[in-house]
Chain A
Amino acid sequence: MFAQSKTSAKLAVTVLAVTVLLGLPALNAWMPAGSFLRVSDFSINLYGKYLCYAILAISVDLLWGYTGLLSLGQALFFTLGGYMMGMHLMRMIGSLGQYHQPIPDFLVFLGWHNLPSFWRPFSSFWFALQMVFIVPGLVALVFGHFAFRSRIRGVYFSILTQALTYAACLLFFRNSLLMGGNNGFTDFKFLLGQDLRAPATQRWLYVATALTLIGTYWACRWLSRTKFGLVQQAVRDREDRVLFSGYAASHYKLFVFVLCAVIAAVGGMLYVPQVGIINPSEMAPDKSLEAVVWVAVGGRGTLIGPVIGAIGVNALKSWTTRAFPDMWLLILGTLFVLVTLFMPKGIVGLPGQFLALRNRYAPRFKVPPAATEPAQELAKTK
């Protein structure tokens, strides 16, 4: 029975993955407008955004659910990745901006005539792509090195990550950083020679995001089953024992922290061309908190949970902000409280909770655990 439910869960994930990857873009591309099955350009764009958030959510969960490190600054790395791609997209506007100058509009506005030197290499897509990995990775490496070396744990770690993202947010608000100030970057035109406003480009961006999400999911799944994954989860459950077994727990934590920064950054990189804007409010502390709520709602400590949570909560947000525009934060807060109190394992844990309830109120279906366990042991050892 146990094996059966596992196979069906696997099947469900595969069906979901294929639908998201191929089904939706196909319905967008080939269904005639006005058909019941047609997925609108607007929807594809919106779903693409959800998938970017799902990548961010996986990075939060790999830290929180798997390593016991609750990072409240994960949106910083997401936004940094977005900014790196944003810099390239700004360069691709060429002279089509409002001021018809060869440099980005905000620089003209600030009185610049030539491109600042650090902007120059971003004309290359490949350079920008590398920076998506390198810049957030380096920030995480330096911050993580000092945090883990000083053995900052638990709530202190959370507060520190929150402070880091807030500080970065304030820094990016400054015009003198030459990163667009509070308006950030927007009005993008082209990516790899393709018009970003064309539905086909957006559809391909959606497919790229879905592929990245599926790849990230499988990579993290692989990781969680290696010996590294075992040590990582051991750090979460009993860090003392890990240290007293000869593992430098801080090295493992640093590796995960940098990896998660890069995963979040890739999500941000894909987010920017689809949403068409990036500004410092994306790294405001509440954005990171929201990502934590997605993971809690979906189910932390699982890999499918954050994906379900990110898509589910954001779909709810899109609906609520249209139906009851002022109620969103209230609903989000209530959701978090309810999930924490009544669904400790999130949506993913619901079947288990129902099963437990059924066993409690219908005792005749209950299989005595003593009778099943040795049988399972036997089956597994053989």
Chain B
Amino acid sequence: MSARKEFILMLEGVNKTFDGFKAISELNFYMDAGELRVIIGPNGAGKSTMLDLITGRTRPDTGKVEFGKDTDLTRLTEYQINRLGIGRKFQTPSVYVEHTVFENMLLSLPGTRSVWEALFSRVTPAQRERIGEVLKIVGLNDRAQTRAGALAHGQKQWLELGMLLAQDPKLLLVDEPAAGMTDEETVKTGELLLSLAGKHSIIVIEHDMTFVRQIASKVTVLHQGSVLFEGTVDEVQNDDRVIEVYLGRKKKDNH
């Protein structure tokens, strides 16, 4: 690549094969700091695998995955990558169901993660305050003492988003945040993500085109493990190749 610009995230020439299935193929992906990027693509296009590669859950066969200036992510573990400031929200809500909402948040606040610290640390007033703030943002401030398992599906999604916010990551990876949400909740989720962009860099994987239209300025279309197209929502929806592999089918579904 030519002159080096400062991307927050860069994937270059990445390949990943699972049992003969090429999930990611010569993938190149660049993202600026503060950007809110939406990734779409049909099932099996490699969207979730791409997040797995960034977060250290799987390692690429070949290629570079770099965070910020020269931080090679391919050699680090999940928790090391998280500590660098990369947070991830899973597709199905992944919260600690036996813990209260407050405890879920407490485990997500920034701070040291060592065993010894965990044995002797106590909740500080500053932490309480911060948890209150974040819970207010995600609309769960009156549920602080509720067991997370007792929350409704949409509320669990919001709790997980809150846990991510509490971590205050530089880069947020959000996998289908609107899945299983009501229309109203979806709109609120979109507003939340928009309000976070700028301060944080965000990658959102999404299927729901109304939602994509609400939040996206730039959309990346993945197909068979590599980037098929990149552009605005309108450009994407009018591109012939995209329509052929993805939106054509999707449009019919919507109508």
Digit string of A3-31 for contact with B (CB within 8 Å is 1, else 0)?
00000000000000000000000000000
A246 is an interface residue with CB less than 8 A from chain B: yes
A237 is an interface residue with CB less than 8 A from chain B: yes
Let me know if B99 and A376 touch, CB within 8 A: no
Let me know if A246 and B95 touch, CB within 8 A: no
Let me know if B121 and A227 touch, CB within 8 A: yes
Digit string of B95-129 for contact with A (CB within 8 Å is 1, else 0)?
11111000100111000011101111100000000
Let me know if B97 and A237 touch, CB within 8 A: yes
Q: Which of B94, B113, B114 contacts A238 (CB 8 A)?
A: B94
Whole-angstrom CA separation of A228 from B118 in the bound complex: 5
Whole-angstrom CA separation of A233 from B108 in the bound complex: 14
Let me know if B83 and A246 touch, CB within 8 A: yes
Chain A residues within an 8 Å CB radius of B107: 227, 230-231, 234, 242, 245, 247
Q: Which of A227, A237, A245, A377 contacts B163 (CB 8 A)?
A: A245
Q: Who on chain B is nearest to A232 by CB?
A: B118
Task: Give chain A interface residues in 325-382, CB to chain B under 8 Å.
Answer: 373-374, 376-377, 380-381
Task: Give chain B interface residues in 152-172, CB to chain A under 8 Å.
Answer: 160, 163, 167
From known contacts A227-B106, A252-B115, infer whether A376 and B145 are also in contact, taking CB-CB under 8 Å: yes
Interface-centre pick from B77, B83, B94 (highest chain A CB count, 10 A): B94
The minimal Cβ–Cβ distance linking B108 to chain A, given in whole angstroms, is 6
Residues of B within 8 A of A (CB-CB), count: 35
Let me know if A228 and B113 touch, CB within 8 A: no
A37 is an interface residue with CB less than 8 A from chain B: no
B146 is an interface residue with CB less than 8 A from chain A: yes
Digit string of B121-145 for contact with A (CB within 8 Å is 1, else 0)?
1000000000000000000001111
Chain A residues within an 8 Å CB radius of B108: 245
B230 is an interface residue with CB less than 8 A from chain A: no
Chain A residues in contact with chain B, CB under 8 A?
A: 223, 226-228, 230-231, 233-234, 236-238, 240-249, 251-252, 255, 373-374, 376-377, 380-381
Chain B residues in contact with chain A, CB under 8 A?
A: 55, 77-79, 82-83, 87-88, 90, 94-99, 103, 106-108, 113-115, 117-121, 142-146, 160, 163, 167
A-B residue pairs, 10 tightest by C-beta: A228-B118, A243-B78, A246-B82, A227-B118, A380-B145, A234-B96, A241-B94, A246-B83, A228-B119, A247-B113
Further pairs besides A227-B107, A238-B96: 11, Cβ < 8 Å: A223-B119, A226-B121, A230-B118, A241-B95, A243-B82, A245-B163, A246-B83, A248-B113, A376-B145, A377-B144, A380-B145
